[in-house]
Amino acid sequence: MKCYFKCSRCSHHCHKMYSILLNHVLLVIYIDTTILSLAFFSIFCPTSD
């Protein structure tokens, strides 16, 4: 959060770091939800006939 306030003071480097961090968090959330939905699907809709 400190970094975000520094960004508002026009710190370009800090802003870059903040967006990298944000992208990383979004990517992790995306991967987690993908894994969870795959796990959910394999548990409740078994494909092995």
Query: What DSSP letter does each residue of 10-22 carry, written as one string?
Result: T-HHHHHHHHHHH
Residue 25, Cα to own-chain centre: how many angstroms? 3
Residue 47 lies in a domain: no
> Is 8 within the bounds of a domain?
yes
Predicted local confidence at residue 5, as pLDDT: 56
Asked if residue 48 is part of any domain, the answer here is no
The predicted pLDDT at position 20 comes to 87
Range of the domain at 11: 2-41
* Predicted confidence (pLDDT) per residue in 1-49, tens digit: 555 555 555 566 667 878 888 999 999 999 999 999 998 888 887 766 5
Does the residue 34 lie in any domain?
yes
d(CA 18, CA 47): 42
pLDDT of residue 48: 63
Has residue 49 been placed in a domain? no
Q: What is the DSSP letter of 45?
A: S
For residue 19, the one-letter residue type is S
pLDDT, position 29: 94
